[in-house]
Structure 1
């Protein structure tokens, strides 16, 4: 397969993850089409990047474990359903061992996100947001949810270079 085709397929992952983060920040939702597109594009990436059956199985197992973890967090109302699906779709692309970094980096990004939003929701900063866009005012609204898709996207983007899908490109 021509390297440009491979690069385009690989570039779809960060592009869609960024779209998911922006949508979550603005609307507090991650549309299903983003997670479905990630899954569909992974199916395209398999033959384009020449993954072995063992690698495919490992990616699928990691995604299944991430889906169970994500929906467990959803059941406890720690994250939303879109977050759980995005987390699993990201794990599908990252595979093992990058999924370990993904989970840790997502957790760290989530902690930083919570601290930033708590700071943004302080009465001192909220006064400066009077004429801000509606989505920023919603982020600053006390009692609102946390758009955790931002943390998931940050973790995915930071872990992506460790994925077996990307490593061949980094060796060039």
Structure 2
């Protein structure tokens, strides 16, 4: 049973990383990734023996994160896929991981922004070799920021304190 529980827990990092890679290479996060995260959560939570009250708190955290994400999307700060991935990951992280998730995601977002500013500067672009199309687009000044990368870093950093990880 322990191996099956571990496999269920691996769904979270696998899907979060898939979302980050997809965002990095295409500036989109498919809805299927966020939906799969949300759908797998109750299965993993029940299989790991998480109490209904903790599951309820996790759902509340996910709803709050979705509302926050929708607000950031409405303000034009993040894309719609980012908002959905942010909420789906928050569902898995629950109340114990929520603040760490928010803090790590903000720090990773700041590092990502600084890195992209450097990558998109004229000095770096002048000496940058040609690369794959997605990298050339990533280095393009004025292009969007693949914030799914920061969300994934924050989610992975906060995952060890999540209620699901605690039950393993």
User: TM-score band (shorter)?
Assistant: over 0.9
The Cα shift of 1:168 comes to: 3.5
| Structure 2 Cα separation of the partners of residues 164 and 104 of structure 1 | 18
Once residues 47 and 86 of structure 1 are traced to their aligned partners in structure 2, the CA distance between those partners, rounded to angstroms, is 22
Structure 2 distance, partners of 1:25, 1:99, is 24
Give 2:119's aligned residue. Answer: 120
Residues of 2 paired with 1:128 and 1:32: CA distance? 37
Q: Does 1:42 align with 2:34?
A: no
Which residue in 1 is equivalent to 2:25?
26
| 1:96 counterpart residue number | 95
Q: Which residue of 1 aligns with 2:73?
A: 74
Deviations 1:34-70 (A, max 9, x none): 0000011102112211111101110000000000000
In the alignment of these two chains, the number of paired residues is 168
User: 1:72, CA displacement in angstroms?
Assistant: 0.3
- Whole-Å Cα distance in 2 between the matches of residues 168 and 49 of structure 1? 6
- Which residue in the other structure is 2:6 paired with? 7
Distance in 2, Cα, partners of 1:119 & 1:141 = 11
8 Å contact 2:89–2:155 — kept in the other structure? yes
**Whole-Å separation in 1 of the counterparts to 2:130 and 2:89:** 35
Structure 1 residues without counterparts, runs of 5 or longer: none
CA contact (8 A) 1:129 1:137 kept: no
Moved segments of 4+, more than 3 Å: none
Rounded Cα–Cα distance in structure 2 between residues aligned with 1:43 and 1:73: 26
SS of aligned partner of 1:95: helix
1:17 alignment counterpart:
16
Q: Partners in 1 of 2:161 and 2:109 — Cα distance?
A: 20
Q: Distance in 2 between matches of 1:118 and 1:129?
A: 14
**What does residue 144 of structure 2 align with?**
145
2:158 corresponding residue in structure 1: 159
- Whether contact under 8 Å (1:130, 1:137) holds in the other structure is no
